[in-house]
A = this chain, B = another copy of it.
Amino acid sequence: MTRRTAGPLYQRIADDLRARIQDGSLPPGAKLPTELALAKEHGVTRATVRQAVQLVVNEGLVVADRPRGHFVRKIERITYRPQEEWRERPDFPELDQFMDEQVELGRDPHQTIAVELTAAPPDVAARLGLDSIGTVVVRRRVRYLDGVPFNTNDSYYPLDLVEGSEIMLPADIGRGANQVLAELGAEQTHAVDEIEIRMPSPDEAERLEIGLGVPVAMHRATGYTADGRPVRVVRNVLPGDRHLIVFERSRGRDSTTPSSNAHP
C-alpha cells in the first residue's frame, strides 16, 4: 500500500480509508465514520469526502447501507467447480446438483426456474453452430442461498433436440439435464469452459442484487457429443464477491490438448 503525501485531497482520504481497512482498525463489517465526520477530520467539504468514499466503494472495499452508513465489505465465497457437473449422482436424487451440494454444507438453497423458447442470441448461436433463425429452449435459473441471490444459470438447447422432453418443464431435474440429454441420444463427452471478467450490466446487477464495485464472471460452457456436435450452451453469471472458481487438471492426454471444437 503506497501512502500518498501529495495529489488530490480525495485520493489521500481514500488512501487513509484503505490503510485503516488493511491494518485492521476498520475490520470487515465495521462502520465507517460518517461523511460529515470525515469532512471535519480532513478539513474538507462533504463533496470531497464523497469522492473519496465513492472510490473505495467502486473498488469493492466498502458498501453503502443507506441510510445507516458505510461499512467495510465482508466477503465470503463459495467454491464453484464447473467440472463437478459430471460427477456421479446418487441413483435417486431429489434435488439438483447445486442444491444438493449446498445442503451438504448446511446452507438453505432454493432456485427459480423458467423455461422459454426464443431465437438463439448471437453468442449462443455461434457456439451451437446455429444460423440466425435457430430456435432454442432456454432454462433460466436464479439460485439463492439463505435468501440471497447467488448466481444465474441459463442453459440453451437446440429445440429439435429437446422438444417434448423433461428439459422443457420448469421443474428441478434431479438426475440432471445432462442425463436427460444422454437419454435423448446426445451424451456429452467433452466441453469448453470460457470465463469472461467484466462489470455487470444494470440488469444483471439488479437481478443478482449486486452493489457497486462488484464485478462478475460470465462462465460459458459448451458441451459436445463424441462426434463433436455441440448440444448445449450454459451461461452462468457469477458475482465475484460470492464465488471462487476452481478447476483441477491432470497431465493426462485427454485433459490437456483436445485441440478441436475450441471456441472462440
B251 pairs with A189, CB closer than 8 A: yes
The answer, among B1, B201, B213, B217, for a CB contact under 8 Å with A217, is: B217
**Interface contact B244-A194, CB-CB below 8 Å:** yes
- Name the B residues within 8 Å of A54 (CB-CB): 54
Is A230 part of the contact surface with B, judged by Cβ < 8 Å? no
Among A29-37, A92-100, A124-132, A235-243, the stretch in contact with B? A235-243
Cβ contact within 8 Å between A248 and B198: no
Q: Is B251 a contact of A252 with CB atoms below 8 Å?
A: no
**Interface residue tally for chain A (C-beta within 8 Å):** 56
Within 8 A of B (CB), among A232-264: 238, 240-241, 243-252, 254-258, 262-264
Q: Mark A187-205, 1 if CB is under 8 A from B, else 0.
A: 0111111111111011100
Interface centre among A84, A195, A262, by most chain B C-beta atoms within 10 angstroms, is: A195
Say yes or no for A82: interface residue by CB 8 A criterion: yes
- A212 within 8 Å of B by Cβ? yes
The yes or no answer to A108 lying at the interface (CB within 8 A) is no
CB atoms of B244 and A195 under 8 A apart: yes
Q: Which residues of B contact A79 (CB under 8 A)?
A: 264
Partner of A254, one of B250, B262, B264: B250
Q: Assess whether A58 is interfacial by the CB under 8 Å rule.
A: yes
Q: Are A244 and B196 touching (Cβ within 8 A)?
A: yes
How distant is A23 from chain B, measured CB to nearest CB, in Å? 15
Chain A 168-191: CB-based contact to B (< 8 A → 1; otherwise 0): 000000000000000000001111
A255 touches B249 (CB 8 A): yes
Q: Are B82 and A247 in contact (CB under 8 A)?
A: yes
The one of B82, B212, B213, B255 that contacts A250, using a Cβ cutoff of 8 Å: B255
Q: Is A199's CB under 8 angstroms from B213's CB?
A: yes
B250 and A195 contacting across the interface, CB-CB below 8 Å: no
Instruction: With a 10 A CB-CB cut-off, give which of A86, A194, A255, A264 has the most chain B CB atoms.
Output: A255
Please name 19 pairs of A and B residues whose Cβ atoms are closer than 8 Å in the assembled complex, sorted by A: A58-B58, A59-B202, A79-B264, A83-B256, A86-B249, A192-B248, A193-B248, A194-B244, A195-B246, A196-B240, A198-B215, A199-B213, A215-B240, A246-B262, A248-B255, A248-B258, A249-B255, A249-B258, A250-B254
| A residues at B contact (CB < 8 Å) | 1-2, 15, 18, 54, 58-60, 77, 79, 82-84, 86-87, 188-199, 201-203, 212-213, 215-217, 238, 240-241, 243-252, 254-258, 262-264
